[in-house]
Structure 1
């Protein structure tokens, strides 16, 4: 399968992501590499990207170049963001770093950065109307979405690292954030989606302290009340204390306090009951073509991508048969995934289905829905208990899930080659 490399040269970090493109809006993430170079350190006062930061970035990009060449990846998209836009020497540094990488770095405008980030979220999460924001180190982008189509993009210099460096206390940061956000058009969207490194770290922290066993935060929904409480907690701690928290780490300890404050202001402004976290952003959006307007097609795209990667014909007929009997799309998905594992030679495809969903990122679904699918799979061979639901962060009726598990087991054994 063709591999594509996308490099995000950000204000706070540089990251290479390698993807296998499967269709116009779906792919498999092969892996990624990241380094906190902090190219944007000092550029906000009209300054230049510092020589020591440039030298560090050259070293990082030389390593990326080696990886790309060894894997034979020719389609590479290096994208320079806010640090390059703000710095007096941004164009000069981009040319210099391009020589280290062996590919031309393109400095993209804030509007394009916002659109790419929004595209990554739209095509990997099932919602129709809402606001998507990406909180980076140097800037904040927001996109209004109606009917799964992107509208106006708003771009503000409210990145978490910039705010942490320029402003010294919570009150001054909050004032700066409100000065920009209160210029936004009035709307109370049904969904607010956030992406960016600090957003993901906050999600991981909340899942860990909540005892939730998922390894990825994509589609995880955080109550706004929890965000407000977390803001108070973080601002009562110093960087060393925050860096020791699970899921945060020392590198994020510098920025997570300003990040949670921005997030709190956003959920307050939009009166959002929850924040939905997206692990897909600008890099993922760069390998997509356009918004997927159909929610059912969104779901099918990612199911088909999974079966294609596993080398199995997509068992949509089994999906539909299971959905018809149970009245549940999620039971249909459990049948689909279990059947793919069965055809791939797994001795226990139902346990494989459960473990895959817990350990891996599966786009196209909210985390609560993936939790139910995982439990339907687990319930085929094991008696479900309340603690199984708690470990995945949901409530549910054990008997109802167990009934769906029986149907999934019966149909997969009755139709080992699919329903014909």
Structure 2
């Protein structure tokens, strides 16, 4: 196990994130605390950081150090971006921080900042090709990656705080002239990046402004599940959020669900940047990542001690295994359930009882690993807990709709509950439900054949016997629990086949 602390000293906010890593549960956040420092506003016209700004930073870092000590975190990595990077008195800031707080700040370049954002995204989102954007307070980082390999990277000299100071000083947040001038400037800056135009790939947005845009949109459409990581919007969605912000009076911004009070005065400039980038790239979608600079740095630091800790090509699988570990599901238990489910699936397909796509089968195999994980909380409400935990958990590497599919299969108890859960999202039609019912039924019967978690089932196959079907289950060990549960749950397989099923256990 390894614990580290990352302090992200940005132009708008300063944030402390405490991480813990171990090989079973992966990288976890222990604590995440931010404070709106707005350091960029303490830079004068000569880029000298005022004493008030430095004192504010030192006070925040001192508090963060005390919090870290309470979590037994001694490895703290303070990282500074645009506001400190641009300060002509940066050496004085670093020296005072070291002498008065005992922290050595690393000032990273715009290129480094962009790289860490890329590193986090490719290890937590499945897109093979994309443009990433991270709008900070004083700079904006852009990357283009292809097949998950970084191709281009740039840091632009503006962020939400600097855009506000450049165009909105003494004006309302939705001043028409300020918005027009901001858009003109942003488009000029983006067009100066020659590799950016007409990429026709998704845009992956990182950072607090992006998260706020996503949360505002989710609230406006009554989005049925939690989390913005992997949440996708299109150009019209971005325009809808912009129109809402632009038409809302400053005093009423706090009434917009999803909008952080700390960002209410700087959110419109970020929306302009996102819209302009979408149009220039001719993007396919606009997707959000909760993972950025801090996670990218944490992964890089931890990889020095654990080189195999993170695999950008096995994102979904690794995330799923970590979730299973969180709820005390043994790897051997999940693998055996998957093995049985696959065998049943193939036997049913062999007799043409089922026909589903490869993607649905893929999700079923992975749902087998976390089937009924909600029993960890309460066995009397296993299905309910399983559905709500999975559908609202941050599972890297899959889209939100597939996350709900996964939850529906892994929580399957009966058709009535399946329909009840599915109706909450409103995403699935009757044909989708038929597939989910079939695959959930296979999982429930598979669970019955390994209910003792002793791995007694060695093989199984189906045969026709008159108008009925016979399933021969070859076992090694004591099948008493499996025989009882399989007999109880065979009705789910009988409904798929529309035939009676006789189960025969044969010792090998």
TM-score by length of 2: 0.76
| Secondary structure of the corresponding residue to residue 383 of structure 1 | helix
Render the CA deviation track for 1:78-124: whole Å, top value 9, x for unaligned.
11001111122233223323445432110100111111011111100
CA spacing shift, 1:293–1:18, aligned 2, 3 Å: closer
- Which residues of structure 1 form unaligned runs of 5+? none
| Secondary structure of the corresponding residue to residue 45 of structure 1 | coil
CA spacing shift, 1:334–1:268, aligned 2, 3 Å: same
Work out whether residues 80 and 108 of structure 1, in 8 Å CA contact, stay in contact via their aligned partners in 2. Answer: yes
1:268 is aligned to 2:268: no
Give the match for residue 437 of structure 2.
402
Q: Which of these residues, 136, 156, 175, is aligned with residue 184 of structure 2?
A: 175
What is the CA-CA distance between 1:408 and the residue it aligns to? 2.0
What is the CA-CA distance between 1:136 and the residue it aligns to? 1.2
Give the match for residue 398 of structure 2.
365
CA distance in 2, matches of 1:213, 1:231: 22
Work out whether residues 341 and 352 of structure 1, in 8 Å CA contact, stay in contact via their aligned partners in 2. Answer: yes
What is the CA-CA distance between 1:298 and the residue it aligns to? 1.9
| Secondary structure of the corresponding residue to residue 41 of structure 2 | coil
**1:79-98 correspondence to structure 2 within 5 Å:** 79-98=79-98
Give the match for residue 54 of structure 1.
54
1:306 is aligned to 2:339: no
Render the CA deviation track for 1:225-266: whole Å, top value 9, x for unaligned.
110232233222233322221110321101110011100011
| Secondary structure of the corresponding residue to residue 287 of structure 1 | helix
Give the match for residue 16 of structure 2.
16
Q: Give the superposed CA RMSD.
A: 2.6
Give the match for residue 136 of structure 1.
136
Give the structure, 1 or 2, with the largest relative contact order (CA under 8 Å, sep 6 or more): 1
Give the match for residue 232 of structure 1.
243
**Matched length:** 418
CA spacing shift, 1:20–1:293, aligned 2, 3 Å: closer
Work out whether residues 65 and 102 of structure 1, in 8 Å CA contact, stay in contact via their aligned partners in 2. Answer: no
Render the CA deviation track for 1:325-354: whole Å, top value 9, x for unaligned.
264222223221225555x47414433332
1:199 is aligned to 2:210: yes
| Secondary structure of the corresponding residue to residue 72 of structure 1 | coil
CA distance in 2, matches of 1:100, 1:125: 40
Work out whether residues 193 and 278 of structure 1, in 8 Å CA contact, stay in contact via their aligned partners in 2. Answer: yes
| Secondary structure of the corresponding residue to residue 34 of structure 2 | strand
CA distance in 1, matches of 2:251, 2:164: 15
CA spacing shift, 1:266–1:389, aligned 2, 3 Å: farther
Give the match for residue 166 of structure 2.
166
Tell which deviates more after alignment, 368-377 or 305-314. Answer: 305-314
- Which residues of structure 2 form unaligned runs of 5+? 169-177, 304-308, 346-355, 459-508
Give the match for residue 333 of structure 1.
366
Work out whether residues 84 and 91 of structure 1, in 8 Å CA contact, stay in contact via their aligned partners in 2. Answer: no
CA distance in 1, matches of 2:115, 2:25: 15
CA spacing shift, 1:61–1:401, aligned 2, 3 Å: same
CA spacing shift, 1:392–1:104, aligned 2, 3 Å: farther
Give the match for residue 4 of structure 1.
4
Render the CA deviation track for 1:251-305: whole Å, top value 9, x for unaligned.
110111001110001111111132110000010111224896763x222222222
TM-score by length of 1: 0.91
| Secondary structure of the corresponding residue to residue 188 of structure 1 | coil
Give the match for residue 114 of structure 1.
114
Give the match for residue 461 of structure 2.
none
CA spacing shift, 1:97–1:309, aligned 2, 3 Å: farther
Work out whether residues 211 and 391 of structure 1, in 8 Å CA contact, stay in contact via their aligned partners in 2. Answer: no
Work out whether residues 351 and 377 of structure 1, in 8 Å CA contact, stay in contact via their aligned partners in 2. Answer: no
Work out whether residues 339 and 412 of structure 1, in 8 Å CA contact, stay in contact via their aligned partners in 2. Answer: no
Tell which deviates more after alignment, 277-286 or 147-156. Answer: 147-156
CA distance in 2, matches of 1:393, 1:264: 28
Give the match for residue 497 of structure 2.
none
Work out whether residues 232 and 285 of structure 2, in 8 Å CA contact, stay in contact via their aligned partners in 1. Answer: yes
Render the CA deviation track for 1:104-151: whole Å, top value 9, x for unaligned.
110100111111011111100111111111111111111111111112
Render the CA deviation track for 1:186-207: whole Å, top value 9, x for unaligned.
3424321101101001111111
